[in-house]
Amino acid sequence: MEVKCPGNFQKEVTADYLLENIQEMKNKKLRLCAISAAWVQGKYELSYSFADDDTLELKTLRIVIDRETEIPSITDFYPCASFYENEMAEMFGVKVRFINGDLHNKLYRINVETPMLPKEER
C-alpha cells in the first residue's frame, strides 16, 4: 500500500511543554482539527491533532497526565479550542487553566459530573 502522507506523526509531549509545541504548530500555519480525551488505566490521554492543508499531513501531539495535573489552555493560539477544552473539563474532569470562553461545566445539560470517567473514578 502506498503511503500518501509520509509526514504524519504523533509526538508525545509533557504538560510543561504543551504551549511550546502548540506555538510550533501555529508557526507552521497548521490548522487545529481536533482535541480528544480518553481515560486509560488511571490516566488521561489527550491528543491535539493539526492538519497541514497543503500536504494533507496530520500532526498529533499526545499528552499523558494524571488526574491532578493541570494543563494550560491553547485558546490564545487557537480560539476554536474552547469547545474541545470545555468538553474535556466537563466530560472527563481534565483541569484546563485559563480557557478563553470557559463555560464552567455548562456546555452540556447532564446530571452526572464527569460522565466519561468510570463510576468508580468519579
DSSP string, 54-106: TTTEEEEEEEEE-TT-EEE--TTT-TTHHHHHHHIIIII--EEES-TT--SS-
What's the CATH superfamily of 9-121? NADH:ubiquinone oxidoreductase Nqo5 subunit (3.30.460.80)
Please give the pLDDT value at position 9: 85
Number of helices (H) and strands (E) in the chain: give both, helices first.
Answer: 2, 6
Q: Are 5 and 55 in contact (CB under 8 A)?
A: yes
- 14-65: per-residue pLDDT in tens? 999 999 999 999 999 999 999 999 999 999 999 999 999 888 899 999 999 9
Please give the pLDDT value at position 6: 65
Domains of the chain, by residue range, sit at 9-121
Torsions phi, psi for 56 (to 5 deg): 65, 20
DSSP code at position 119: G
Please give the pLDDT value at position 122: 87
Torsions phi, psi for 83 (to 5 deg): -60, -50
pTM across the whole model: 0.91
Comparing C-alpha atoms, which of 77, 81, 86, 78 is closest to residue 105?
86
